[in-house]
Chain A
C-alpha cells in the first residue's frame, strides 16, 4: 500500500479555507487528534472518513474554535485559530452530530432566533426564516415543535439553522447518520447547492459512499491520524486498479478457492469478513475469465462476482487493516 501524495495539488495560500499543521488534542492520556496536517481548498467539499472514535469530531471541534488544540497550528481563511477566534466565528458554521436546535421551539422560532443572533433585524429574520423553510421543504412544519419532526426533517432544519447567513465554511458532523435514503439524498442536494454557491464544506462520515458522492478530497482518519489523503479515485488507485470480488456458494470451499487463485494466477487474495467472500487484485480482464474457469474446473460454485475498481470500503479496510503493521510513514509520523 502506498500513501497518496499528490504533487500537482499545490495552490496559492489565498486559495485555502483551512490550513492545519500538526494539530494535536489530548484528553487525559488519549491522543484524540494526533498530528493532523490538513489543507482544504476554498469552495470544495472535504471528507473526513473514519470509524467511530477515530478523531473526526474532535478535529472538527478544534477547527470550529470549540476546543483549544494542545499542539500544532491552523489557519481558517488565513486567520490564526488561536488568536482570531471572532474573525473565524463570523465566517464558519457548525452542524453537530446531534441536532443542535432547541427541540421545544418550532422550526420557525428556531430559525428566527438564529437570524437574530446573526444580526438580522426582527422583520428580516422572519423573512429569511420563511425563505429557508420553503427551500428546505419544511414550510408545512414551520409551526410545529422540532421534537415532533422526523429524523430527516430535523437534519434539514439543523442545516438550515447553520446557513441562515451562508457561511464561508460549514462543518457538518455526520450529516446523514441514521437517515433513510430519501432524506439522505435531500441532505446531499442541500450540500451540493451550498458548494455551488461558494461555501466550503468539511464533513465527517462513516459512510464511504457519502464521501465518494460528495467529497472532492478525502482524508481517511484512524486513531487520530490521517492515514491516507487524496481524491476518491486516488485512494482507490492506491489500493489497486482492479479488484475481482467473488462470493462462493459454500463457505468451506473458500480456502481451496483462495489457494487455486494464488497458485494458478499468482495474485494476492484477501478473505473478506463474511465466510463466503474473497477478493483478488487483478489488473487484467483476461485473468478474470481465467480465474472463473479455474474455479469451474475445480467444481467450486460462484454465487456472485464483480470486477472493477475497488470500492472505498475495500480501500478503507485495506488501509486501516494494515495500518498497525506498517512502518510509520514520514508524512504522518508524530510531529
Chain B
C-alpha cells in the first residue's frame, strides 16, 4: 500500500514534472562559437574534477628533463649545463608531442561511454565538440611548456633568443601539437579500446621522438639514419624551436614547421570529422 505521505510526495513530483516539461521553450540552435566554447568549458570542468589528468603536463616534463639532463649530460656534451642548452628545446618538443595522444584517449572514452552518441544527435556544428577540447589541450601544452622552461632556467638554461624567442618557440610547439592531435582523434575513433590506443600511440611516438635530433646531433649517426632524422617532423620542429630559443631562427625553419602542421591538419582533421559523423 502506498502511504499517504508518499502519495502526496508523488503528486507534488508530478506537478513539478509537468510544469518543467511544459514550460520548456525552444531556443535557436547555438552558433559554432558558442558550442565550441561550451565544449571547451566541459574540458576545463573535467580538469577541475579530475586533477590527476594534469600529471602528464606537470610531472612528466619535470621527470623527463631531470632524467635526460643528468643521464646523458656528462656522456654526450661533457657537462650537464652545456647539454641542457641543447637538450631543453628538444625535450620540450618530445614531451608535448607525447602528451598529444591523450586527446585521442579522451575521445575514445567518450565513444565507449555513450556521451558521444548524445552529442551526435544534437543540432550543433559537430566539429565544435573536437575543437573545443583541442583548445583546452592547447592550454595544457602551454602549461607543460612553462613548467619545463621554468625548471630548465633554474637548472642553468639560458636562452640567447630572450623572452620573445622562448614565446615564439612555444607558439611553434602549440601550432604543431594542435595539428598532431588530429592523428590521435582519428585513431581514437577507429580503435576499440583504450589499451590498444595507448599501444598504437607509443609505437608511433616512441621511435619518432627518439630517432630525431632531440638528444643527439644527427651528424654522428650513420647516413641512412641521418636522412630519416632530417625528414622526421619532430626534428623539423625541434630545429625551429632550438633556433627560436637561441636566436638563430630562420624563416625557412618556421615555414617547414608550418608546412608539416598544415599537411597533418589537412589530412587528419577532415578524416576525423568524417568518422565522427559516420561512426557505426
Contacts and interface: CB of A to CB of B under 8 A. Distances in A.
A166 B124 CA distance: 16
A166 B35 contact: no
B115 A119 contact: no
Given A96-B118, A116-B34, A117-B122, A165 B26 contact: yes
A119 B114 contact: no
Main SS class of interface, B: helix
B150 interface: no
B21 A193 contact: yes
A119 B28 contact: yes
B215 to A, nearest CB: 37
B28 to A, nearest CB: 5
B50 interface: yes
Interface string B120-135: 1111100000000000
A154 to B, nearest CB: 12
B128 to A, nearest CB: 9
Contacts of A90: 29, 123
B45 A92 contact: no
Contacts, number: 125
A132 B13 CA distance: 11
Given A104-B50, A197-B21, A116 B38 contact: yes
B22 to A, nearest CB: 5
B30 A117 contact: yes
Contacts of B30: 116-119
Interface string B92-129: 00000000000000000000011111111111100000
Interface residues of B, number: 42
- Residue from B17, B38, B119, B278 whose CB has the most chain A CB atoms within 10 Å: B17
A193 B122 contact: no
Contacts of B46: 102, 104-105
A98 B29 contact: no
Contacts of B42: 102, 105, 109, 113
A328 interface: no
Interface string B24-59: 111111100011001001100110011000000000
Nearest to A121: B27
A292 B3 CA distance: 39
A313 B258 CA distance: 65
Contacts of A105: 42, 45-46, 49
Interface in B1-35: 10, 13-14, 16-30, 34-35
Residue picked from A65, A103, A105, A128, most chain B C-beta under 10 Å: A105
B200 to A, nearest CB: 23
A240 to B, nearest CB: 33
Contacts of B123: 86, 89-90, 118-119
A124 to B, nearest CB: 7
Contacts of A119: 27-30, 34, 123
Interface in A60-80: 61, 64-68
A174 B277 CA distance: 24
Nearest to A95: B118
B27 A124 contact: yes
A199 B26 CA distance: 14
Nearest to A118: B27
Interface string A90-128: 101110111111111110010001001111110010001
Nearest to B119: A117
A117 B27 contact: no
Contacts of B278: 68
B41 A113 contact: yes
B270 to A, nearest CB: 18
Given A89-B121, A102-B46, A118-B122, A189 B10 contact: yes
Contact of A131 (B18, B23, B119, B280): B23
Given A89-B122, A189-B14, A193-B17, A128 B117 contact: no
Interface of A: 27, 61, 64-68, 86, 89-90, 92-94, 96-106, 109, 113, 116-121, 124, 128, 131-132, 134-137, 145, 161-166, 186, 189-190, 193-194, 196-197, 199
Given A102-B46, A197-B22, 10 more contacts: A94-B121, A105-B49, A109-B42, A109-B45, A117-B30, A134-B20, A135-B17, A136-B17, A145-B49, A164-B24
Instruction: Give me the 7 closest cross-chain CB pairs, A-B, nearest first.
Output: A119-B27, A135-B20, A100-B114, A90-B123, A100-B118, A166-B24, A116-B38
Interface of B: 10, 13-14, 16-30, 34-35, 38, 41-42, 45-46, 49-50, 113-124, 278-280
29 contacts: A66-B117, A68-B278, A90-B29, A90-B123, A97-B114, A99-B114, A100-B113, A100-B116, A100-B117, A101-B115, A102-B42, A105-B46, A117-B35, A118-B29, A118-B30, A118-B122, A119-B34, A128-B24, A131-B20, A131-B23, A135-B17, A135-B21, A137-B13, A161-B118, A162-B118, A163-B24, A189-B14, A193-B18, A196-B18
